[in-house]
Structure 1
Amino acid sequence: MNDRQKALLPSWARAIIAIVPIIAASLLGQWATYPNVASWYATLVKPPFNPPNWIFAPVWTTLYILMAYAVWRILKVTNRLAERRIGLMLFFLQLGLNALWSWLFFGLNNPLAGLLNIMPQLLIIVATIDRFRRLDLVAALCLVPLAVWVAFASLLNFEIWRLNV
């Protein structure tokens, strides 16, 4: 069996690798977020463009589905394995930062800590899109909404920090 054949995982294995870490990141983020939304977050001064709380769950659900599909597609790539490895490392790094953001912003009740996380997170998402684009355009395009949302969230995070210092 050559390296290319070894790189092609069965579909169920690709699904597990794509879905389980995203579910874990989502759950970790929710554990920090939900207990603090009605208490701490509700007391903050927010900018006029702050979305209603109900919008976050459907947006993140959609983004997580797109992220899992993107990773699943990248795991199907059997050539350019070094490039695939870098793209996946970047993807999982941004996913870890995504979960950590909830703990910094909501768990620690610290918008500045969230801001210090979300800025490099956005850059890593853009780098991931670039790496994925070289391997699978559809996978890269699946991450564009994530980049747009995190860019918006970065601005929102900044404004919340600015208005509450």
Structure 2
Amino acid sequence: MSTFNLPPFLLNTARIPAVAVGLPLVAGWLSGSQTYKVIDGRWYRSLVFPPLYPPRAAFPIAWTTLYFGMGWASHVAAQAVVAGRPGAELGLGLYYAQLGMNLAWSPLFFTYKQTGWALLDIAALTATNFYMTSILHEATDGWTSYALVPYCAWLSYATYLNASLWWLNKDRHVPKYD
């Protein structure tokens, strides 16, 4: 029996496939809705970018795919909770925790232009995802790993990008306002 008790409304949210997939898609869109305005502004354009920085068009494609996958993984995890699989409830709880950290990153980085705080957030987000993925891998017989392993890989890459942007720009006077 699990010692972690997930609030019933979080379990019920993930049990409905359309809601499980729709939640991260809509929340991610809302969280990142100011991004386009900021990346066209003076602050973002003045940053020094690291090697291996992807084209701008890669981000919405990657995030839409990843949000869809993580929503699907939450639904599979919810089914494992209902089936009484060990670790599934903790894994689903970690899913919601990582979703909160994920949604905090865009405002930290783009709206408040706090690249250092965003780096702390994404580092915790990445670590949480690796832990969640390993727990849910066992609890779902590997089914969630199809969606979560690519997410872990992208988060590792995104952590590199955030760390590089912080490092390359930490001693520069970068205008915070457009």
The question of 1:46 aligning with 2:43 is answered no
User: Deviations along 1:89-120, whole A, 9 cap, x unmatched?
Assistant: 10111111011000111111121111010111
The answer to whether the Cα contact below 8 Å between 2:130 and 2:152 also exists between their aligned partners in 1 is yes
Structure-2 separation of matches of 1:122 and 1:16: 25
Structure-1 separation of matches of 2:40 and 2:86: 45
Structure 1 residue 63: deviation in Å?
Answer: 0.7
Unaligned runs of 5+ residues in structure 1 are 1-8
Q: Percent identical across equivalent pairs?
A: 30
Which residue number in structure 1 is paired with residue 59 of structure 2? 56
The answer to whether the Cα contact below 8 Å between 1:129 and 1:141 also exists between their aligned partners in 2 is no
Which residue number in structure 2 is paired with residue 162 of structure 1? 167
Which residue number in structure 1 is paired with residue 75 of structure 2? 72
Q: 1:94 aligns with which of 95, 98, 105?
A: 98
The answer to whether the Cα contact below 8 Å between 2:15 and 2:78 also exists between their aligned partners in 1 is no
Structure showing the higher helix proportion among its residues: 1
Structure 1 residue 127: deviation in Å?
Answer: 1.0
Which residue number in structure 2 is paired with residue 14 of structure 1? 16
Structure 1 residue 16: deviation in Å?
Answer: 4.2
Which residue number in structure 2 is paired with residue 3 of structure 1? none
Q: 2:147 aligns with which of 138, 142, 146?
A: 142
Q: 1:151 aligns with which of 128, 134, 156?
A: 156
- State the one-letter code of the partner of 2:146: L
TM-score, reference length from structure 2: 0.80
RMSD: 2.0
Structure-1 separation of matches of 2:34 and 2:104: 9
Deviates more, 1:44-53 or 1:20-29: 20-29
Number of residues of Structure 1 aligned to a counterpart in Structure 2: 156
With over 3 angstroms needed to count, the CA separation of the structure-2 counterparts of 1:105 and 1:126, relative to structure 1, is same
Name the SS of the counterpart of 1:50 in structure 2: coil
Structure 1 residue 20: deviation in Å?
Answer: 3.5
Name the SS of the counterpart of 2:32 in structure 1: helix
The answer to whether the Cα contact below 8 Å between 2:119 and 2:163 also exists between their aligned partners in 1 is yes
Structure-1 separation of matches of 2:16 and 2:75: 6
Name the SS of the counterpart of 1:48 in structure 2: coil
Structure 1 residue 82: deviation in Å?
Answer: 6.1
Runs (4 or more) in structure 1 with deviation over 4 Å come to none
TM-score, reference length from structure 1: 0.86
Name the SS of the counterpart of 1:53 in structure 2: coil
Structure 1 residue 17: deviation in Å?
Answer: 4.1
